[in-house]
Structure 1
Amino acid sequence: MSGGDDVGGGDDEMAQVMASLGTRLRAVRQARGLTLAQLAAVTGISVSTLSRLESGRREPGLRHLLPLARAHRLALDELVGSSTGDPRVHPRPFTRHGQTWVPLTRNPNDGLHAYKQILPAPATPRTGSTPRPEQGSHEGHEWLYVLSGRLLLALGDHDLVLTAGQTAEFDTRVPHGIANAGDRPVEWIALYGAQGERMHIRVRPAAGRTHDAP
């Protein structure tokens, strides 16, 4: 019967997850840069138990997985690598600095994260060059890819106009700001390191020349 086949498939999948779980737990811990002792201090699970879990000599239960998931800031299904969870990201757009931000990752406060960003078209047609935007700087690194429109990136003393299909990558400690350099909305994908979206230092706009990116 089809119901029996479904159950059998689920059992096979669960067996595969459990067989590889120790290796995955070790990989997640190492990706976070944690030692067994550090993880033990955060979770309350002993070093010896963590070692046995990672080596596959002990099968983890919820009393182990729940504190591990909290420590790594992962959903339980993400921690165990199960494909039975919902893989979809449910973004909740928000507005900041006149832009619309659409989260593209599950954990915006943990590690590298991505957004789709949208700047609306100017309220009135421009008669001259695009005003230089206010700049800010902060710890981290940013990579962006323009989907449509014209994006002015004021990076340090340089102004770059990026169009669809062009990218930029820069250290966010360099003062930077963005503006819509066209007459319609500009959309781009941005990847940020830790705290990449937080502005810490404000720099007043300065005069500078605008040129198209090569």
Structure 2
Amino acid sequence: MTTANDNIGSRLRSAREARGISLRKVAQEVGVSASMLSQVETGKSQPSVATLYSLANVLAISVDQLLGLEPEPPSVETRTARLDLQRGAENPAIEMENGVRWERLAMGQRGPADALLVTYQPGASSSVEGKLMRHAGQEYAYLLSGEITLQIDFEEHVLRAGDSVHFDSSRPHMFSNRGSDPATGVWFVVGRRDQTTQKVERKVPPPRAVRSAVEVLHRLDSFD
């Protein structure tokens, strides 16, 4: 199983610099200090789930890009004819702050969803700051083991093994493990990738920042 932690910071920094956004500006939009973001970019600190999602949304990058997975070349092959097989030992993984782990599941480089095997260690939460997060997409989760608490808007729900949940991810929410055992489940976030693509198109630098229209197209193609 590969772990992408060592390179997440450098990829975030590269995405920020490619868009010509200052570290201070990104930190302001995400809601963290510039020094904290600098530590993340240099690999001295790991972001929380909430911070990682915020960074991905602000910089318009996908989970695949954070994991360093190269986009597949265009193919005339139809999607129904494809088979994406990924062994458990090959799952790219991200270890986040406060005991949260993401393992990216097989979904194809151009699939419509972020598919993840997520583990929350006891005491872990999606936001160490205690703030509810929100992001684009529809979120689906199925809990395999353990117990996890979902706070959404002003409601609170406890999910146990076998329970599932779906909600609009733009609603403020936070997951936390208040139990004594790890909580593991399968998560799908549908629609966030489409939003990322739209944001990438809006964030393409003006013509004077690139050498040609062809370069603009290449940049767009390089994003998921």
- Structure whose residues are more often helix by fraction: 2
- Structure whose residues are more often strand by fraction: 1
For normalisation by structure 2, the TM-score amounts to: 0.44
For normalisation by structure 1, the TM-score amounts to: 0.46
Larger Rg: 1
